[in-house]
Amino acid sequence: MEKGPIVTVLHDGKLPDPHLMTPVAERATVRYTEADRLADALRGADVLFVYDFLSRAIPGAWPAADRLRWVHMAATGVDPVMFDELIASDVLVTNTRGVFDRPIAEYVLAQILNFAKGLPESRRLQARRQWRHRDGELISGATALVVGTGSIGRAIARLLRAVGMTVRAVGRRARAQDPDFGVVSDDLYAELGRADYVIAIAPLTPATRHMFGARAFAAMAPRARFINVGRGELVVTDDLVAAVRSGTIAGAALDVVDPEPLPSGHPLWDLPEVLITPHNSGDTAGWREELVAAFTGNFANWIEGRPLDNVVDKELGYVPA
């Protein structure tokens, strides 16, 4: 028998820990569903918890959402739910800002060290049992350009400044004295040529889709490395391949790609200057539990009439700073 509000949880076969969902189950009816049954599970539902945050099933099931008031994404990026019908509706959207900040910042630092110290090439030489001396690079004094000034971008900036790097940023609003970034510019192309490392962490919106194409790569210094921890669709993939192959840029570290997952025959796999990870830069021990805890805490706010945390501006496509 259904009780209280109805909460639909969209998952991919990996259910949230039922024990962690107890604070919700005690005060609401919880419906667990995978993508193929989402429309049925949305009928009469008040809340949608998108635990399967990479799912693209929501727009197709949206006509069945006859009572929905709130959508919570178990991720920072909300692009899978930024479709016209939801944007135009009165449904609130929240995200899980904060959970991935430090892990992704550490990943970015690790990839910068990979490039500067030549660690992937050292591993390749070790596999061939070759002892070959090579010089490395200092990261202290190098310049990082962080493209995206949300909470993850700020965590990246603080960590890179702590190891002696110079940090600048590109965001929607220019400012000269930001506590984390120092200088924030609103002109991407004016900043790209200054950077040794360009780090993409902007949200995926109509304004940022394909922002890194041939023109952007041509504006970078030949020494520059490109690190994408935002969304694969921020990049024109063919242009990135061409830029690396031609030496327009020195390399790339990609935790996100377009298409994703990357097909086995894709040319990115074969470029020695490209480092690829499977969209796991933010995934450290206990991350799934943290996602559930963020939702259950926000659910308590919702059911008790308090303001929700991390409310997304649906016109912008992210939580305003």
> Which distant-in-sequence residues (6+ apart) come within 8 Å of 90 by Cβ?
69
> Which distant-in-sequence residues (6+ apart) come within 8 Å of 269 by Cβ?
262, 276
Name the nearest CA neighbour of 306 among 94, 67, 6.
94
Give CA–CA dist 17/15, Å, rounded: 6
Pairing of strands 166-170, 225-228: unpaired
Check if 231 is active-site: yes
Instruction: Tell me how long the chain is.
Output: 321
Q: Which amino acid is at 60?
A: G
- The phi, psi pair for 119, rounded to 5°, reads -65, -40
Check if 279 is active-site: yes
Give CA–CA dist 160/137, Å, rounded: 15
Q: Cβ atoms within 10 A of the Cβ of 116, count?
A: 17
Query: Are 28 and 68 spatial neighbours (Cβ–Cβ below 8 Å)?
Result: no
Q: Which amino acid is at 114?
A: N
Catalytic residue, candidates 260, 273, 289, 290: 260
Within a 13 Å sphere around the CA of 94, how many CA atoms are in the beta-carbon half?
22
Check if 260 is active-site: yes
First to last CA, the chain: 42
Give the strand order in the sheet containing 143-147.
175-178, 182-185, 166-170, 143-147, 197-200, 225-228, 251-254, 274-276
Q: Is 71 helix (H, G, I), strand (E, B) or coil?
A: strand
Catalytic residue, candidates 72, 97, 168, 231: 231
Structure tokens at 231: 């969304």
Instruction: Give catalytic residues, as residue numbers.
Output: 231, 260, 279
